[in-house]
Structure 1
């Protein structure tokens, strides 16, 4: 009986100390990400295209302003940009621009919403298009996304985002047909 009284507080203290590691979940990750109202960084990307011997490389800058503005400016191998503002998408390459609405391309809308949902910490938006599995801890997390939208699933097999606390540091995408993209992000200071 005396041992039981001594062990119970020790066991309780050990369980409480370990609880934060067990408790890291999608809600906590979304809370950390939601604190970042804007961000900038640089990226390097490798695209593995079926039929090509080696990867294609690209690099440039990224920016995000919550809740729905994203810009990707590719500087190498050739300048191009993708600007998302709300439901509007502008693609620019070789001095020519093309404007469209995301609603007109449901598969692209899903990928954009996955990024915006993650970057803005909007779990319900993310869950609308993807089934998610979170692993790791606050300091080193991985968010695996499987499309639930049929049109998106016809294009994208999976997405994997990785990061630290409220920062996304990597994005990997697997496409139907075997192509793959691996992006590494370095946050700006």
Structure 2
């Protein structure tokens, strides 16, 4: 009887350790091991001016450490490519290119995603206060901007995932509008 009780307590202890709170360094190390890959996404934009959310779908590709492609397929085809210091957007046969070094507020926003995917805590902490909850099997990372140029546009970014996979990104804008993106990795 005592032996069963002790065995049960030991197993309970191991289970608690397996689901113990995750710290930022552990999560960043796990994310840094992400080999990159492809995913499908569904993005819902909730705008105060509209009764229903605007829904977009498409594909994403991440190539560590600094290339991210987002191709929106519906409702309108648009391609966004982030490659090192350059952000390019193409829509309706028009192309716009931004050098991130010339637009620090855009760079900070872009780096919120790229630095999360790369597990770069130092880069994230340059522009955001970080708050982490959950375990490695279900974590939530909240980024709150600490730069006035960003806070005038954005209240927070919430990134959700499992291990080294980012499965959701929610943006809460300063004006109350919000965007919820769900991400499904594909082989």
- TM superposition score normalised by structure 2: 0.90
Q: Contact 1:68 / 1:84 at 8 angstroms: preserved in 2?
A: yes
Q: Report how far residue 14 of structure 1 moved.
A: 6.5
Distance 1:143 1:149 in 2: 18
| Aligned equivalent of 1:119 | 117
SS at match of 1:52: coil
Q: Contact 1:50 / 1:179 at 8 angstroms: preserved in 2?
A: yes
SS at match of 1:82: strand
Residue 37 of structure 2, aligned match among 26, 36, 39:
39
Larger Rg: 1
* Gap runs ≥5 in structure 2: 1-7
| Aligned equivalent of 1:6 | none
| Aligned equivalent of 1:5 | none
For residues 35-84 of structure 1, what are the alpha-carbon distances to aligned partners after superposition, in whole Å with 9 as ceiling and x for unaligned? 11312101000001111111001000111111111111100001011101
Structure 1 segments (4+ residues) deviating >3 Å = 10-23
| Aligned equivalent of 2:139 | 141
| Aligned equivalent of 1:90 | 88
Residue 77 of structure 1, aligned match among 75, 80, 87:
75
Distance 1:16 1:187 in 2: 30
Is 1:57 the counterpart of 2:55 in the alignment?
Answer: yes
Q: Report how far residue 19 of structure 1 moved.
A: 3.9
Distance 2:79 2:68 in 1: 11
| Aligned equivalent of 2:130 | 132
For residues 6-28 of structure 1, what are the alpha-carbon distances to aligned partners after superposition, in whole Å with 9 as ceiling and x for unaligned? xxxx9899767634533521111
Distance 1:98 1:106 in 2: 17
- TM superposition score normalised by structure 1: 0.89
Distance 2:74 2:34 in 1: 27
Q: Contact 2:21 / 2:134 at 8 angstroms: preserved in 1?
A: no
Aligned positions, number = 183
| Aligned equivalent of 1:173 | 171
For residues 95-124 of structure 1, what are the alpha-carbon distances to aligned partners after superposition, in whole Å with 9 as ceiling and x for unaligned? 111112012222221121011111011111
Q: Report how far residue 162 of structure 1 moved.
A: 0.2
Q: Report how far residue 129 of structure 1 moved.
A: 1.2
